[in-house]
A and B are shown apart, each in its own frame.
Chain A
Amino acid sequence: MSDPFDPQDTGWTPVSPRLATARILIGTVTVVVVAVLVLAVLAVIAATTSMPTWLLAVPIVLALAAVAWLVWWAPRNARSWGYQETEEELLVRHGIMFRRLVAVPYGRMQFVDVEIGPLARRLGFAKLSLHTASTETASTVPGVPHEEALRLRVRLTELGESRGAGV
């Protein structure tokens, strides 16, 4: 099997499934707020002009479609994320439509960030970002369980120091 994104080893650590919950929540709230605003504007226009009232259904249908897509997409995407600590590198993979696998050698990591938003804190996960001298590395892992994120940060920083981060 030569699929470069799905090597047949079992070492991939998945991210928290609550990542999907958080994304659905945030996404739904955003969609609802936008839909309500658009509806309000349309309602005013409909009241003052001769615009047909059935047009009011359009934003509702679009909003429902967006939420449905979100409910379909978020768990799927959350499942696609995975990382693996090998002897010398951290591997991060993600995506189903657009797939990407990045290998970051420990020795090249300059610093590791853990970012926790308010909702993520309630749900108990964090976003881990790895920084090398290259901005293209663009390696962030969302939805890492809180404890695990802190453990990883300590471990990766140690490994980075012992392998000698160098530009």
Chain B
Amino acid sequence: MSDQAAGTLGRRTHPLTAVVQGLGWSFAATVGLVGSIVSGGQIESWSLIALPAAAVGGVVVGSLIGWLSWRFTRFVIDDSEARLDSGIIWRSSRRVPFERLQSVDIHQPFVARVLGLAELRLDSAGGKESRTTVRYLTLPEAHELRALLLRRAHASETGSDAGDATPPPPPGTAEGELVAVVPPSRVVIGTILSLDFVGAVVVAIGAIVASVWFAAPLAALGGLIGAGSWVVRIVAERVVQQWGYRLTRVEHGLRIERGLLSRTSETVPFERVQGVAVVEPLIWRQSGWSHLLVSVAGGGGGGDAEDQERATTLLTIADRELTARVVDLLVPGAVQDVEHRRRAARAGWLFAPIGWRFRWIGSDDVAAVSRTGWITRRTSILPFRKSQSVAVEQGPLQRLLGVTSVAVHSPDGPVAVGCLHLSPADATAAAEEVRARICPGGAQASMRSRSSS
């Protein structure tokens, strides 16, 4: 980069960070106290004073400590890395080299969102603590820094010098082309129509009916609490987190923005997409709705399992047309309903008396595609570019029935292409078709030698 002065950029986080931390402490203190009062069994007069005291005290102490740590926190971006220096007594300096930077997401926890603040999450490749969180910045500033980071990371990746050549888009405006908006009404209807939600509601109603019938209110309470927490979980995951869902196409990927209380904005880079799965639950299928999952290399960063799961859900609910459009964006040229299919053999019915009829593996020019499931239908699409190896397998029982399985291996994720219990001839052919596509000329050698013998 030619201009060194413009290259390095040091920032403080926003001063209100301290207040957010204070509110967090206050919340924690209050919840803790309420918990101990409830578990104590009796409400005494002191608790009426202690509660507001804890709330106010939490704010004051938390804000004070937050202010101190804010004073010692600096976020620096230079030509080759981003750095977060923090700590009052124990100084720490976290470095994220651009060549290892995988994604930059913006997350707004509820409290921060109320104050117009956001945190920046930097995920880098490998390691356990691969996530660096910068909290908090104003939202426009977060957007601006993300754009800057991504530009520089991309420049270091391609080795081009034009990192800052393109002027940053004005902060706050939505960059990129809008692909889809999922209206809250559809999220709600989709949730209501899902099997597990119906199941939870049925269990809850069953518990009430049973308790009235047997006049045992306590039993009803147990059932209700179980089913109720289940419903709450489903609603929290599928409605609250997916509220106001927007999918936009940005320079190198797709950007997802979603959330009712806390709001998240994350990017799925096209080049890291390893595979796509379209999941169609029984009830949704009648309306042509589906759920779209992606495998992303290094997806979820250092986050917990729950984070990883969310990182892989690209569309919570989408109609046929939108699904097809997004699949085409992720794996250009791929379709779900490939013409060329090889179906599981009837001989393997013993393994799946109903399911065998619904299984097939096929391929088109760009991807291997397989489908399984008759209650929840799952179509997995794995681009040949990302396919790693192909295996043909057979166990003793399978040999007895004369069937063989095929699996196409992809980097780990929710997408697995393969088909169980094909006829041996189909299995061989399917494997060879995929192999020939992964490396042109690869399977031909062995096909030739086979046909000549």
Contacts and interface: CB of A to CB of B under 8 A. Distances in A.
A30 B329 CA distance: 56
Interface residues of A, number: 36
B395 A103 contact: no
Interface residues on B, range: 35 or more
B427 interface: yes
B385 to A, nearest CB: 8
Nearest to A8: B453
B449 A2 contact: no
A134 B412 CA distance: 6
Contact of B435 (A8, A84, A103): A103
Interface string B235-278: 00000000000000000000000000000000000000010000
B393 A100 contact: yes
Contact of A104 (B389, B443, B450): B389
Contacts of B425: 2
Interface string B387-409: 11111111110010000100101
B388 A132 contact: yes
Q: Interface residues of B: mostly helix, strand, loop or mixed?
A: mixed
A97 B388 contact: no
A109 to B, nearest CB: 9
A134 B431 contact: no
Nearest to A101: B392
A52 interface: no
Contacts of B148: none
A105 interface: yes
B127 interface: no
A3 B424 CA distance: 6
B305 interface: no
A107 interface: yes
A99 B389 contact: no
Contacts of B435: 89, 103, 105
A90 to B, nearest CB: 9
A167 interface: yes
Interface in A1-54: 2-5, 7-9, 11
Contacts of B386: 167
B170 interface: no
A61 B410 CA distance: 46
A97 B396 contact: yes
A87 B388 contact: no
B59 interface: no
10 tightest Cβ-Cβ pairs between the two chains A and B: A88-B442, A8-B453, A134-B388, A134-B409, A2-B425, A132-B388, A4-B428, A9-B449, A88-B439, A136-B409
A4 B442 contact: no
B425 to A, nearest CB: 4
Contacts of A99: 393-394, 399
A139 B389 contact: yes
Interface string A77-118: 000000010111101000001111111111110000000000
Nearest to B272: A167
Contacts of A137: 388-389, 391, 409
A151 interface: no
Given A11-B449, A99-B394, A136-B412, 16 more contacts: A4-B431, A7-B446, A7-B449, A9-B450, A86-B442, A88-B442, A89-B443, A99-B393, A100-B393, A104-B389, A106-B439, A107-B439, A134-B410, A136-B407, A137-B391, A167-B411
Contact of A89 (B392, B424, B427, B442): B442
Interface of B: 274, 297, 385-396, 399, 404, 407, 409-412, 416, 423-425, 427-428, 431, 435, 438-443, 445-446, 449-450, 453
Most chain A Cβ neighbours within 10 Å, of B385, B391, B396, B435: B391
Contacts of B387: 108
A139 B389 CA distance: 10
B67 to A, nearest CB: 44
B391 A105 contact: no
Nearest to B404: A4
A101 B404 CA distance: 11
Contacts of A139: 389
B58 to A, nearest CB: 45
Nearest to A102: B391
B439 A102 contact: no
B443 A103 contact: yes
Contact of A9 (B390, B395, B446): B446
A65 interface: no
A135 interface: yes
A98 B393 CA distance: 7
A107 to B, nearest CB: 6
Contacts of B388: 104-105, 108, 132-134, 136-137
B445 to A, nearest CB: 5
A60 B424 CA distance: 43
Contacts of A135: 412
A8 B392 contact: no
B249 to A, nearest CB: 23
A55 B386 CA distance: 58
A95 to B, nearest CB: 8
A99 B406 CA distance: 12
A9 B411 contact: no
A87 B442 contact: yes
Contacts of A121: none
A76 interface: no
Contacts of A7: 446, 449-450
